[in-house]
Amino acid sequence: MLDEIKERAAATTEILGFIVSVDGSRLTAVMAKTMGETATALSVGNLVRVSGAESQVYGVVSRVWSPDPERPVDSIRPRFEIDLIGELQASPRHGMPARFQRGVAFYPRLGSKVVLAGAADFALVYAKPEAPTIRVGTVHKTGGVPAHLLTNSLLGKHFAILGTTGSGKSCTVVSILRAVLDSHANGHMILLDPHNEYGEAFDQRAEVIRPRDLRLPFWLMNLEEAMAVLVPADAERQDIEGRILKHGIMHARAAFAKNWGGSTRDLTVDTPSPYYLEDLTDYIQREMGRLDKADGSVPYRSLLNRIESLSADPRLAFMFPITLVEDNLASIMAQILRIPVRGKPITIVDLSGVPSDVVDVCVSILCRIIFDFAVWSDPADRVPLLLVCEEAHRYVPQEESTAFGPTRRAVSRIAKEGRKYGLGLCLVTQRPSELSQSALSQCNTIISMRLANQVDQAHVTRALPDSMGGLIAALPALHTQEAVVVGEGVSVPMRLRFSDLAPDHRPRSASAEFSASWQSEVAD
């Protein structure tokens, strides 16, 4: 039953070392020969195979050291640690080949032989899974073995892409999304783009919504969002103005519903039902003219001035349209969610031109209506969605005091509950330490690129679903385009290099070339 395993063990003639310690998911071994006697190269990141009585165990070398630093290197037998990743067990079914599987059931014994993995081992351990996958690059130190991500586990159980600026993080986002779209032409993705990086990275497959094309009318805002836009946070009369605004919005929603023959029985101030801005301002003016008001006219005038100022701002035409209000929620959702797809399976919402004082409100509205759509869809007809949040630390920061409350709650709710309703989430950030630990821990797959900051490394380590100390220790030394991937989205934790993107598929995130630009005069 173990004939195949024994044949594989016999295929490698040189023994690399012997196990001297077994500790949970980590093994310690001593080299079989001194550094001067062996011709076998050993370094951190090597895949090794450990012979056992019941199985062949595989692991990655995470540390190599000398037990006696005072002696010459050639005369010592180094020690090395191995992080276990899985094993090759004989199949319980007669005649079926042994297969590699993640995790270890049969630990090797002390004295078990360690050999360096070869091409056959790479093909076995990093084989393309039977489940749907996407190819994104090659596995580190395997001579070009393809690296695959599990499509359903990656998208359906949330994932995070982390990495310092310049590590290739934005290109990684494009690589993964393009790989998904290449095999899923009828996808439904929404990418929040705060810096206008991704607009041209997906050819003609992206519906790019810029501020001039964006439609998020004021009536979509709930009370908390409306207060953030219409009532300054530092206003001394914030409570008073908030109360006036609440009654005014409720009055305006009810008036619109009555005019169009609708019911007001279940109407609330947060219901995303249309209303006329004029009905709101008329209500405020009428209340301001009453003689029995205890708060004076100042809070009413402040609200009216703010509404007039914002509705006249051309930058906010997407929020305060000139045309008459109408119930176009269906068309708004169809544009954002790509239903129907019509050859453009991804929506890129360009937030770079949205005024900074309302951008958080826009993100809050988008996340909230996307989640509500997923929740209230008929399970039989539910359309799986993927929401990609660039600069995620801006929306779900670790410190609640630095966040816009509605946005933080909307994204956090998607992180905690979205997978139940077919709503996947991708968090992208270069500052993991500033990202909510709770939101990051909901991501079952972590794709971490180079992280030089120790605080960021510690933050990521706490959220990892796998104990792979050797891979995590490599984070500061990763090259551009390299990443450590652990979690449900890969069949086995791995270090990989993402495939090169064509120049016209790269996001616009490259740094300015000062040395070239400053060589000539700018005349205009």
Can you tell me the mean pLDDT for 378-404?
A: 89
pLDDT class of 259 with cuts at 50, 70, 90: confident
CA-wise closest residue to 344 among 214, 179, 206: 206
**pLDDT at position 456 over 90:** no
pLDDT class of 469 with cuts at 50, 70, 90: low
Q: Which residue is it, tokens 């992280």?
A: 451
pLDDT of residue 291: 65
Alpha-carbon distances, residue 510 vs 57, 194, 507, 513 (angstroms): 43, 15, 8, 9
pLDDT class of 97 with cuts at 50, 70, 90: low
The phi and psi torsions of 235 (rounded to 5 degrees) equal -65, 135
pLDDT of residue 363: 95
pLDDT of residue 340: 92
**pLDDT at position 201 over 70:** yes
Can you tell me the mean pLDDT for 25-51?
A: 85
More confident of the two residues 75 and 365: 365
Pairing mode, strands 423-429 and 385-389: parallel
Of 2-16, 48-62, 88-102, 226-240, which range is least confident? 2-16
**pLDDT at position 438 over 80:** yes
| pTM of the predicted model as reported, rounded to 2 decimal places | 0.89
pLDDT of residue 467: 57
Cα separation, 122 vs 125, in Å, equals 5
Mean pLDDT of the chain: 87
**pLDDT at position 378 over 70:** yes
Q: Which residues, at least 6 apart from 333, have a Cβ–Cβ distance to it below 8 Å?
A: 339, 369, 373
Q: Are 45 and 141 in contact (CB under 8 A)?
A: yes
Cα separation, 291 vs 129, in Å, equals 75
What pLDDT digit, counting tens, does each position of 284-330 carry? 999 888 766 666 788 899 999 999 999 999 999 999 987 666 657 88
Cα separation, 216 vs 116, in Å, equals 58
More confident of the two residues 159 and 515: 159
